[in-house]
Structures are given as structure tokens and as C-alpha cells.
């Protein structure tokens, strides 16, 4: 992986950690903005590894969908999450009042973690890249950074379960989509 891609993925991880902190302190509009840009930088990094250098937000979204969703490496759900994150970010950043509810921010942060985790698994890495990678955000780290009490073991477990469920939803969505395509091909053939 080249330095530019590595920097984009590091920035993506940093924005994901920031989004977790913003969620913990109740700044939901800023949380969805950071979560969207975390996804944006991860998608941009994925495109660089595929030989596509795009910079604008619209170009990154459309190129990611074309290359990875339409290309079959990600399910349609990944494109939907990316577009939904963009829409929420636009609304949150440009509205004159606070517009994002806590539940929407929590959901988007979980989806962003799953989206970025899927990209991390997709990208080829050298062993040294994996050891230098920044850790994914956690409720514990977010609490420490925000100065609030860390989550209880039960809360941390629930958060980890939700993140794992979000990550597996992208994989299961892809498997379901592939099975539907096979069934349609078999019935039309």
C-alpha cells in the first residue's frame, strides 16, 4: 500500500474516533459529519488501490459504487449507507438548527464502522501496515477522551455486539444478493 492510501486510511480511522467522541458528548450533527468523512476517506483509499484517483465527494461516491458495488465486491447496502451518510452530513452541516437525533447518529456511526472495516479487509496490506494501524474507536476510548465515565462491561459488550452485527450485515447482504442473482439466473435460464 502506498503512502497516500495509508494516509487516507489513517485519516479515516481518526475521523471515526472523533465521531465516537462526538456521539458520547451529544454532538450528533458533528458525529454524522465526521462519520461520513471517515467513510469518504476510506472509499477514496480503496479507489486508489484500484488505480482510480478521484477527489470530489460526488466522484468518490459514484466511482466507489461503480468499482466496488456494481463490480460485485460490496453489496448494494454499502452504496445505500454511503449515500445516506452523505445526505445526513449535508443536512447536519448546513442546517441552522440541530437536526440529527441520537439514534440516527448511533446508527450511522455503527454503519460507518462496518463500512470502513469491510474496506480494511478488502485492501491488501503488508504485515507492517497491520501493526501500525490505528485501533478502531470504542466506547471505552471515547469515554476516556471525552472525560466521561467509561461504559460498564454490559454497555461495552452491547456496543461491540452492535458493531459486529453491523459489520456482518454488509457481508450477509452481499451473500443474500449473490444468492438472489443465482436464483434469478436459474429461473430465467
Summarize pLDDT for 123-174 with one digit per residue, the tens.
775 444 444 444 444 444 444 444 444 444 344 344 444 444 444 444 444 4
Please indicate, yes or no, if residue 36 is contained in any of the structural domains.
yes
Asked whether residue 160 is assigned to any structural domain, the reply reads no
The whole-angstrom separation of Cα 50 and Cα 26 is 37
Report pLDDT digits (tens) over 14-66. Answer: 999 999 999 999 999 999 999 999 999 999 999 998 887 777 778 899 999 99
125 within a domain of the structure (yes/no) = no
CATH number at residue 93: 1.20.120.330
Q: Is residue 46 part of a domain?
A: yes
What global pTM score does this model have?
0.67
Residues 6+ apart with CB under 8 A from 53: 47
- Locate all alpha helices (DSSP H) within the chain, ordered by sequence: 3-24, 28-49, 57-64, 76-94, 102-122, 127-132, 139-146, 153-188
Tell me the C-alpha distance between 46 and 40, whole Å.
10
> In the numeric block, which cell numbers belong to residue 100?
440529527
Cα separation, 43 vs 9, whole angstroms: 9
- For residue 3, is pLDDT > 80? yes
Contact 56, 132 (CB under 8 A): no
Closest CA to 89 of 79, 104, 67, 72: 104
Q: Is residue 66 part of a domain?
A: yes
Q: Is residue 92 in some structural domain?
A: yes
Domains in the chain: how many in total?
A: 1
Domain extent for 55: 3-120
Amino acid at each position: 500500500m502506498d503512502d497516500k492510501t495509508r494516509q487516507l486510511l489513517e485519516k479515516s480511522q481518526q475521523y471515526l474516533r472523533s465521531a465516537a467522541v462526538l456521539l458520547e458528548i451529544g454532538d450528533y450533527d458533528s458525529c454524522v459529519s465526521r462519520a461520513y468523512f471517515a467513510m469518504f476517506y476510506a472509499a477514496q483509499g480503496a479507489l486508489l488501490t484500484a488505480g482510480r484517483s478521484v477527489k470530489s465527494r460526488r466522484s468518490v461516491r459514484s466511482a466507489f459504487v461503480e468499482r466496488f458495488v456494481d463490480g460485485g465486491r460490496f453489496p448494494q447496502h454499502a452504496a445505500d449507507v454511503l449515500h445516506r451518510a452523505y445526505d445526513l452530513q449535508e443536512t447536519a452541516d448546513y442546517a441552522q438548527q440541530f437536526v440529527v437525533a441520537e439514534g440516527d447518529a448511533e446508527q450511522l456511526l455503527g454503519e460507518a464502522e462496518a463500512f470502513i472495516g469491510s474496506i480494511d479487509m478488502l485492501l491488501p496490506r503488508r504485515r507492517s501496515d497491520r501493526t501500525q494501524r490505528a485501533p478502531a474507536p470504542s466506547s471505552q476510548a471515547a469515554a476516556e477522551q471525552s472525560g466521561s465515565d467509561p461504559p460498564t462491561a454490559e454497555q461495552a459488550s452491547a456496543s461491540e455486539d452492535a458493531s459486529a452485527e453491523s459489520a456482518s450485515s454488509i457481508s450477509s447482504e452481499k451473500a443474500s444478493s449473490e444468492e438472489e442473482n443465482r436464483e434469478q439466473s436459474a429461473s430465467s435460464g
